[in-house]
Amino acid sequence: MGHRFHPKHANKLLDADRQKLLPQAAILERLDLEATHVVADVGCGPGYFTIPIAQICKSVYGVDVSPEMLDMLSKRAAEAGLANIALMTAQAERIPLPDGTADRILCAFVLHEVDDLDGTLAEFHRLLSTSGKLMVIEWEKQSMEMGPPTAERIAKEKLAAKIEEAGFRTELWNPNPYHYVVLAQR
């Protein structure tokens, strides 16, 4: 398992530089979100993607291991006037929701931190509805100043193969030179 992102650096997750690299609207467009959807944002942090998802969809589960991150998200949701976000402190490997709850799952910059990658992907498969989609965003496995140490990153081909082993069809996309996206469907 890689090191966990510390909540004291949460402001980096919301800054303008991140918006330039990962514009929420362009990223979320690939998830084909609809007003009726229930979405789980796993590893939601302070809500970089959670807030814009909640502005589109019926309900969002913001799932994170850090109560501090969830507190930040709660404040941001209240400021935005959003009441359709349910917050859950949980590990990605064990999310206390019924089978088939989510129409979409977003998991951004988390899988390189989990203890059990196969178990996490099986959990995502369990949580998704039969027509559900999963979007995983991770760091390219190359040396760069930002992000986790290179040794902790997961190569995109390896991650796509693992997601396929968990029962998904996958498609890779690079939104910028630093990150990759695996879009997956049951």
Mean pLDDT, contiguous 10-residue spans, the chain (186 residues):
53 66 91 98 96 98 96 96 98 97 98 95 98 97 90 96 98 95 97
Query: pTM for this one?
Result: 0.91
**Best CATH choice for the domain 7-185 from the list 3.10.580.10, 3.40.50.12160, 3.40.50.150, 3.20.140.10:** 3.40.50.150
Distances (CA, A) of 146 to 32, 107, 112, 150: 29, 19, 15, 10
